[in-house]
Chains A and B, each alone.
Chain A
Amino acid sequence: MYDFQYHKPASVADAVKLLADPDAKAISGGQTLIPALKHRLNRPTAVVDLSGIAEMKGIRREGNAIVIGALSRHDDVAGSAEVKAAIPALADMAAHIGDTQVRNRGTMGGSISNNDPAADYPAAVVALNATVITSKRRITADEFFQGMFTTALEPDELVIAISFPVPEKAGYAKMRNPASRYVMAGVFVAKTGGEVRVAVNGAAPCVFRQGEMEAALGANWSAEAVGGIKQDATDLNGDIHGSAEYRAHLVTVMAKRAVAAAG
């Protein structure tokens, strides 16, 4: 780890000011940033610790949406009575991210800002058509995730909360990478206000929507409806753990399982 300045602001406004320095970095749970610092892959001038900012905490129901503060840890989401009641698939997803230590530190804001192709939450955010509330604006899920480790966030822009409309049905299934246990291929299916959305994570450089499956499920919400749909392997990830073809195949399998889980 290289030396850096450490700040712990108490408000979003103060944090944003500190992040005006383009070489400063925000830190939430540190589950991604700290390993990167330890490996000297990152050399920030300052680390801005968000953990003292009350505006970014808490999980609450607002009308027909669940609003989750960016600093909510995976374990908070997994254990939240509101989330479990309204979007059990999301609580379940959170309960199966990483391991106990990771779930006790890692945050939803950190995870979606990082937009690791193999992360869990991006699929939920896209499939549930959530809105990302930032220090500057509201960003729709479809606009937010732009590519591998890339989001619509500007350098000094912070995720404050994520607002999830409550769906009629939602389900998630994933195949884990045997080594890292991150997502190798995952599918989140949701039906919200009659609209079906299917988001795929892990398989490609960035979370994406599976249009063919959305149409099929829109017509017939059943595992059989997606069971015959083949994901095109072009542009999917391939590595020592599995080829693009294998991941493409897993997308169909996980889609079936996600629909079955959604009920």
Chain B
Amino acid sequence: MNDVVPFEGIGASVRRKEDFRFLRGRGAYTADFNRQGQLHAWILRSPHAHARIRSVDVAATTGMPGVVTVFTGADMAKDNLGGLPCGWQIHNKDGSPMAEPPHAVIAHDKVRHVGDPVAVAIAATRDQARDAAEAIVVDYDVLPAAATLEAALKPGAPEVHGGVAGNLCYDWHIGDKTVLDAAFAKAHKIVSLDLVNNRLIPNAMEPRAALGEYDPTTGDYTLHTTSQNPHVIRLLMGANVLHIPESKLRVVAPDVGGGFGSKIYHYAEEAIVTWSAGKLGRPVKWTADRTESFMSDAHGRDHVSKADLALDANGTILGLKVHTYANMGAYLSTFAPCVPTYLYATLLAGTYITPVIYAEVKAVFTNTVPVDAYRGAGRPEATFLLERLMDVAALESGIDRVELRRRNFIQPDQFPYQTPVALQYDSGNYQATLDQALAAADWAGFESRRAEAAKRGKLRGIGCSTYLEACGIAPSAVVGSLGARAGLYEVGTIRVHPTGSVTVLTGAHSHGQGHETTFAQLVADKLGVPVAQVDIVHGDTAKVPFGMGTYGSRSLAVGGSAMMKAMDKVIAKGKRIAAHLMEASVDDIEFERGTFRVAGTDKTKALVDISVAAYVPHNYPIDEIEPGLEETAFYDPKNFTYPGGCHIAEVEIDPETGKVSMVNFTAVDDVGRVINPMIVEGQVQGGIAQGIGQALLETCVYDADGQLLSGSMMDYTMPRADDLAPVSVATHTTLCTHNPLGVKGCGEVGAIGSPPAVINAVVDALRDFKVRTLDMPATPAKIWGIINGGRAMAAE
């Protein structure tokens, strides 16, 4: 007999509840939903990066087996539908708004990237729909393409959107240039670096899918979709595109197999299936194949930057100047404009005291897939720039790279710390995470490992990054003033059932993060209800109050805080009921983990006594307290949260082939209070895998005509298990000071902190070759080129 219930509250590594269905193949993903009378859609996509559509001839599809209809962009235009909206407006330096060209759901005048939808064929089966799509004849007038940032910025470059001069979406800046110039004038040394942040293709395991339904008897639309934020999709699609009142539109994001940001946005296919279902009165389903994912999911990163860091003779930072070109792709994806601005330039202080920062960002349209937030979004770009710059500055000023960081760190007693680029950090201890990581990675013993590797003919290097991120983006009023067209609060409902079990409704959405476990642990911790009796409901606008979804590591910091607030309300009401039942004053009732007690006595009531009384109000102060025990709270954060830490990578290079192998990776992250250490470790490891992917393997390549050369797994290098190193993950906690849980967020730290650590390690391994600029990914061919060039130069 073992009746000791293991502790399941905050700090326990409870196994993930959701894995019972995921590991048995019993998850229910969008593609698993099938409806009576369902039709299948196949999207015909542009094979050209840039072309005028002269005509779309669908005549040959008539009478093909199973084919119901073909809709073109012209058909959609006839229904007066809106275009796909952008959720964030940036203003130029001169105060004018950014260029915001229309984004048709189905292109009808011009196609602007390979993969741009030109028609949708709808048939009884997916193959029949595809047959029909192949029978459509599109007459294209192929135009020259602006396929890269460089090409789009050239004088006389093809215009992606008529009227957007120079393909410039916006020209934005932050910081005080005059103060910066003064600081630079006094500098002992200015270190400059050119950087490219490579473009990535997210590749969630589950390709996107959407199933639209329409009930003509009620006028209700339902969309099942692979989304990270169903309410946002309902709002954008209902209000902006299809003009369906929210009361008539239900959006369900069931189990979702990974998103990494790419499933935040409102995509054309969601509108296409919903609208088609309405037109045809039959459910319409679309499921992407991997090839389509490559050319229709929003890509990530893609910056070209120049950075200048001013230092005094002691290596103290005097100022930072950054100029960045950011690729937006062909259209503005939902949150694209905020990524290279408010999620990037505001992070440029990192963990360092930088008296003045001035950053200019020019966002540029190109004939490529739209670019938007991808795990980390803006913050990996800022971190890569800063942490590479620190290493180069150390090298060029002759100060040890760890020492240079220490000299410039914001000190533990300086919080709250106001940076010159808008953010105010609430807490952190960068010295502590650095020291812990240096010890865990045996930084001090590295030189002997390098010498040992040299005996084996290998070049070994070590590198660190002492990064900072900002997540749980907020408060709503502030982001609103910065151009967000949405609020960024979260909602939580705590529904205590009559017999004491609990259902939680949350606006956050889990697509791999383990919310069903972590959130249940919050309830277990606070209300004393076993995790097994706490059910988390998310991802359905018909069940959950209006919430904002999951991205930017916000779910626990913002969504968890809403739940905490709602639980406070439950407890407050419970205390009043308990006071009645125990004939005591409310002020004398204490509550702890499921038990209401009259202070200083042994009189207690369990939560279940209270819930029974609340739902069966026989002995109940019905005139004073409403029946029921269910509370909802909306939580609008007071500030961002600021995770940070230190990542250390150790690599070995085979100089004959140029292949870089990860040999060790150490992460010490401050993610605030840790609710479930096992889940945090998994999240950080996953992020690091993606960070190593960016640093060593992944890159999206377009040719000059805008054809996607890295268009499949044959050419786009996804990290595999054997590309990674043993990863040691540890945490060092300082609490967030402004949310009730003290949590900061752990979903993105891995992808943010790791790429510069890896590249710094590669550069260190190549010390003899005096590498300064090393663009990611550090592929074997690229490293061999450096080694070979280095040797050739040495011979000259």
Contact = CB atoms under 8 A, between A and B. Distances in A.
Contacts of B127: 1-2
Contacts of B659: 175
Given A179-B715, A240-B715, A246 B784 contact: yes
B705 to A, nearest CB: 15
Contact of B785 (A1, A178, A246): A246
B129 to A, nearest CB: 13
14 contacts: A40-B130, A40-B134, A175-B780, A178-B779, A178-B780, A179-B697, A179-B710, A179-B714, A179-B715, A180-B715, A241-B715, A242-B779, A250-B657, A253-B657
B701 interface: yes
Interface SS of A by simple majority: loop
B454 interface: no
B514 to A, nearest CB: 28
B710 A180 contact: no
Instruction: Rank and list the top 3 A-B pairs by shortest CB-CB distance, nearest first.
Output: A242-B781, A179-B717, A180-B714
B17 to A, nearest CB: 30
Given A175-B657, A242-B781, A180 B713 contact: yes
B781 A246 contact: yes
A222 to B, nearest CB: 17
Interface string B687-721: 00000000001000100000001100111111000
Interface SS of B by simple majority: loop
Interface in A211-246: 239-243, 246
Most buried by A among B291, B697, B716, B780: B780
B452 interface: no
B139 interface: no
A249 B780 contact: no
Contacts of B788: 249
Interface of A: 1-2, 39-40, 175, 178-180, 239-243, 246, 249-250, 253
Given A179-B714, A240-B701, 11 more contacts: A40-B134, A175-B657, A175-B780, A178-B697, A178-B780, A179-B717, A180-B715, A240-B715, A241-B781, A246-B780, A249-B788
Interface in B754-789: 779-781, 784-785, 788
Nearest to B722: A181
Contacts of A253: 656-657
A178 B657 CA distance: 12
Contact of A240 (B709, B713, B718, B780): B709
A241 B785 CA distance: 12
Nearest to B134: A40
Interface in B263-299: 291
A241 B779 contact: yes
Contacts of A250: 657
Contacts of A240: 701, 709-710, 715
Given A240-B709, A253-B656, A179 B781 contact: no
B701 A242 contact: no
B405 to A, nearest CB: 31
A253 B781 CA distance: 13
A249 B792 CA distance: 14
B657 A179 contact: no
Most buried by B among A1, A239, A240, A249: A240
A67 B657 CA distance: 35
Interface string B104-147: 00000000000000000000000100100010000000000000
Interface in B47-73: none
Nearest to B716: A179
A178 B717 contact: yes
Given A175-B657, A180-B714, A249 B784 contact: yes
B653 to A, nearest CB: 14
